[in-house]
Homo-oligomer: A and B are copies of this chain.
Amino acid sequence: MAASTTETKEQILTVAERLFAEHGFTGTTLRNVVSEARVNLAAVHYHFGSKEELFRAVVARFARPVVERELRLLSELKSRSELPSVEALLTAVVQPSLEILSEGEEARLVRAKFMGRCRTEPEPIQSIAYVEFAVATEAFLDMFQRVLPEQSRSQLGWKFDLVISTLVRVLMEAGKPYALLQTTRPEDIEAATQKLVAFLSPGMRS
């Protein structure tokens, strides 16, 4: 192979993640991507096949570790003898996404924004990310049903959807003035997680 194929692919993925996050799917052009990534235009189709497949690859790269961590936290809660509190369950929902802000070195805010952007893209792009998170979403909803058995499934459905939408908003606004999350320091992320859980918990119970 020429010049470690991984390098070119990762370069494209990283630049694409940033541009998709800032300008959305239709607002991002492959020529912008390859220009900033310093690779040839045809490299995108060689490595990924199409613009949409590139988007899929970006989603998969960041979503899988998050979903994995979500499911791990959830199974920890399940393994205990007593049912978790609403607070503990909500923490398992929001913590993995917020903690990606403390990983890696530079593209942390960009990654958060991309995750938020996925949820606000017009169809059929939005579905690409939805599918990646679907398993975790269902698992969390099942657990909420057990923790709050007096509420109907449809009620928990829209409430959980609103929880995710606030999480997404926090991710998209991260770093801006007046945002809940100002820096990517671990202690600030921990504090923001607690504040967000405190903001949402009574609503889930209501």
Contact = CB atoms under 8 A, between A and B. Distances in A.
A99 interface: no
B179 A169 contact: no
A202 interface: yes
Contact of A162 (B24, B26, B159, B169): B169
A22 B200 CA distance: 29
A166 interface: yes
Contact of A27 (B26, B173, B179): B26
Query: Which of under 10, 10 to 19, 20 to 34, or 35 or more describes the interface residues of A?
Result: 20 to 34
Most central of A27, A117, A122, A161 by chain B CB within 10 Å: A122
Contacts of A64: none
Nearest to A197: B206
A159 B199 contact: yes
A165 interface: yes
Contacts of A24: 24, 26, 121-122
A154 B162 CA distance: 22
A138 B162 CA distance: 23
A78 interface: no
A104 interface: no
Interface in A8-40: 22-27
A198 interface: yes
A189 interface: no
Contacts of A149: none
Interface of A: 22-27, 117, 120-123, 154, 157-159, 161-162, 165-166, 168-170, 173, 178-180, 198-200, 202-203, 206
